[in-house]
Amino acid sequence: MTSHPPQPDIAIRALSANEAEARLDELADILADSVAQGASVFFMAGFSREDGRRFWRSQLPGIAAREKLLFVGDDGARLVGTVMLMFAQQPNAWHRAEIGKMLVHSSAQRRGLGRRLLAAAEEEARKAGRTLLLLDTEAGSAGEMLYRACGWSEIGRIVGYHHSPDGRLSDTVLFRKTLA
């Protein structure tokens, strides 16, 4: 794959639930593109833009309640990346959060956007007093390489955990990161 220079002109910011609702089409495009490119993010081949709209619409209540934060990469014309920070809600887990829906549109990949999105989510978790972050990703994926490069530690693998969009049975790698 060709590597491109970083794109500092892509702003990383959190979306409110209202803005996320207003930009459902863009969010859906990122998710549908990711699934079409083979990203294993719970969905199978044939995933449509309308499926993406339904998914993102289902996330709005959690975003509105600030149980989840949605960060996006915004190039000024459209959204090109996402990551969600999901705060554990259990009384004994106030220190923990999860990372999910780390997606970069294929047109904006290999330019450091994923790294910047992840850093924004980590920084917000730190500000919220969360000291343990967790995530999972498909073994052998670009995500696995990104998380390792960003200092995440593998805590285990689950063989045959999920099906990739093309139907292949795939393994999942579990990661953790302790924040200071």
User: pLDDT digit string (tens) for 16-46?
Assistant: 999 999 999 999 999 999 998 878 888 888 8
In a domain, residue 142? The reply is no
**Would 91 be classed as within a structural domain?**
yes
Contact at 8 Å (CB) between 12 and 122?
no
166-171 contacts at long range (C-beta below 8 A, 24 or more positions apart) = 166/38, 166/45, 167/44, 167/45, 170/40, 170/138, 170/139, 171/138, 171/139, 171/140
Residue 115 lies in a domain: yes
Interval 85-132: pLDDT, tens: 999 999 999 999 999 999 999 999 999 999 999 999 999 999 999 999
Answer whether residue 168 is part of any domain. Answer: no
Q: Is residue 173 part of a domain?
A: no
Q: Which has the closest alpha carbon to 142: 165, 173, 120, 166?
A: 173
**What CATH number should be reported for the domain holding residue 38?**
3.40.630.30
Residue 170 domain-assigned (yes or no): no
pLDDT at residue 152 greater than cutoff 90? yes
Residue 124 structural domain: 11-132
Structural domains counted in the chain: 1
Residue 1 is predicted with a pLDDT of 45
Q: Is 108 inside a domain boundary?
A: yes
CA dihedral 36, 29, 120, 11 (to 10 degrees): 130
Which residues neighbour 52 within 8 Å (Cβ) at sequence distance 6 or greater? 27, 28, 29, 30, 31, 32
Q: Helix, strand, or coil here: 142?
A: helix
Residue 180 lies inside a defined structural domain of this protein:
no
Residue 40 has a pLDDT of 80
